[in-house]
Structures are given as C-alpha cells and as structure tokens.
Structure 1
Amino acid sequence: MSEDGWIEHGTKAPAFTLASDEGDKIRLADLKGGPVVLYFYPKDDTPGCTKEACAFRDASAALAKAGAKVFGVSPDDAASHAKFREKYHLNFPLLIDPEHKVAEKYGAWREKNMYGKKSWGIQRCTYLIDADGKVAKLWKRVKVEGHETQVLEALAQLRSE
C-alpha cells in the first residue's frame, strides 16, 4: 500500500470474501483467470452511484467481451442492494461490506471533508485487477461521467500487453 493508503499498480490485490446481494459468497481468489472490475461507491440509489452503476450495466456487453467481471461494493445491506439492482436492472453483483473491512483494505474508506464537516465514508474509486490477481489500474476519486469508457480502454490495453 502506498503512503496515501491506495494499493499500488502491480501489487497483489488484497484477498476478500464478501456476500453478494443474491446471497452468494464472492472470493477474489475464485476470480483469477480473468480481469475483475471492483468499484467502491458510497450509497445505493443516490444520483452519482446510480449513474455509475447504470453506466457499467450499459457497458456490460463490452465488459463481457473483454472477459471482465464487474462488482460494486458499498456498506449497504443485502436488502438495499437487491432493491437497487432490481430498480435499475443491474446485471452484476453488488457486494456487502457493512463494516467497510474490504473498503479499508483497498484504501476506499477515507475521511471526507464536506463544507468543513469531517466524516468517514467510501471514496468513490475503481480497481482493475488482472487475471493474476494484481492491480492493473486504479482510479481514485472517480468522476462518474465517462468512467466506464476509461475502464474499457484500460481493459483493452491490458489485453494487448
């Protein structure tokens, strides 16, 4: 992990096992062999998080063509995730990290400062993990607009290496 708490490019991604909104246990170790897009977002059914999730949903054919599996991670519970997925017809699992342990491992759980008020929460970020389980790319403080395109470009670059 770097001095600023993010996982550096080329570093082995931290292992995790999280429940999905469908009740499955998702283990990073089981996903080796293909790229993984692991994105952390603050809260289900809020404007930015909805826009980001729907962009990944709409890019699903291109993501699948690149062999990538997409997972969204937030502290929301299974019921909230299931409602969010159903409402927006999301076609990828949402992982439940209520105690933000995985978010902490990945540096996504951070102190935020909004109008002088400090609080802790998820810093929107995305990790692209390669087929060997190493961090291929990290987007910190993601701007939602066009982010799925950045991820697809990085996947294309990863395939050409």
Structure 2
Amino acid sequence: MECGVGADRLPVESGPHPGGTALAPGCVAPHFVLPDADMETFDLRDATQRGVVVLCFYPRDGTPACTRQAIEFSDHEDDFIREGAAVIGISPDDCLTHAAFRDEHGISIRLLSDPDLEVCRLYGVLHRREGCERDTVRRTTILIDRAGVVRHLIDDVQLRGHAAEVLKLVKEIARNN
C-alpha cells in the first residue's frame, strides 16, 4: 500500500500497511486509545487535535538505552511543549511498571502501556530477533501532525542526540502548518 499526500494536501491512503510493516510519511496514523502510567486514557485523535504528537516506541522500561532515551526526551519536554508537541512513550510494560520507572528516574513524558502489542503491531514496530521466539519492539519514533498524518518515521533510533533531532523536525512541522 502506498501512502502519500495528494495535491490537496490530504492523505492518499489511510491506515496501516498490510503485514505489519511500518507506516510511511503521508499515511494517516492509525487511531488508538491506551492507558498511561496513571491509568488515565490517552486518545491519539484528541492529542493530535491539540498539536504534533511524537510517538516513541521502545522495548522495555528500565533498560539502560530506554532509560537514557526517556530521560533525554524529558530533559527537552519544555522545548516540545513550547512547540505545541506532546512526546509519548509506548512499550509493552504495564501501567504499574511505567509508574515505577517514571518515578524512579524522574521521567516527565507520558508513558503508555501496550501489553498485548496491538498498537505496536498496528504501527509496524515489531520484529523478531535472531534466536528469539517472540516479537520485540523496535525502537522507532513517529511524528504525527495535527491532521493525524505521519510526517516523519525514524526507524532503528540512535540515542545520542535523538531528542534534539526530533525537536528540529517538530519545529519544521510547526512552520509548515
């Protein structure tokens, strides 16, 4: 399935790609609702109406790389808020694990629980590592604009400077909207 933006700036295709492959820029982001660390509901449609949404898919709370990534985004949270953007972390961990992780490390970004991997599957961020019997979440960042369209997809994220790179992309989206 090809996604793109037509001459009228409206998405040509919507929804996820078949077979669980990752979305592409220009696709309408699949809608979802998930609970956060405080067991409050997050609705993607509501969030995009308020501004750009940055979805950060990650494998697990508490690992060194995931902790570094969450802290880096938290350190830049005020910059994202100034640009009208919300940074959202999504992993298979449950709400209580998210709350403990957030509290232990001073994480300020919102963390969503996807224990059944439904949203991870919908967004095509699952992969199977060699020698593993289960799918794992591939560290992926997806930027969604106010119209609910995927504007950027950063696959296989490199941690150093990632939050700053994403902030630059958020500013670009804000200028063009």
RMSD: 1.4
The runs of 4+ residues in structure 1 deviating greater than 2 Å are 1-4
Distance of aligned partners of 1:21 and 1:144 in 2 relative to their CA distance in 1, 3 Å threshold: same
CA contact (8 A) 2:20 2:123 kept: no
Residue by residue over 1:65-107, the C-alpha shift from the partner in whole angstroms, topping out at 9 and shown as x without a partner, is 1110111000011111000000111112110000100000001
CA–CA separation in structure 1 for the residues paired with 2:42 and 2:20? 27
Q: Which amino acid is the alignment partner of residue 109 of structure 1?
A: L
Q: How many residues align?
A: 158
Say which of 141, 147, 154 aligns to 2:156. 141
Question: Match for 1:111: what amino acid?
Answer: R
Question: TM-score under structure 1 normalisation?
Answer: 0.94
Q: Which runs of 5+ in 2 are unaligned?
A: 1-16
Pair member with larger Rg? 2
Give the number of the structure with larger relative contact order, counting CA–CA contacts within 8 Å between residues 6 or more apart.
Answer: 1
Fraction of identical pairs, as percent: 34
CA distance in 2, matches of 1:77, 1:53: 16
User: 83, 100, 113: which one pairs with 1:66?
Assistant: 83
Give the TM-score normalised by structure 2.
Answer: 0.85
8 Å Cα contact 2:20/2:122 also seen in 1: no
Among candidates 142, 147, 152, match of residue 167 of structure 2: 152
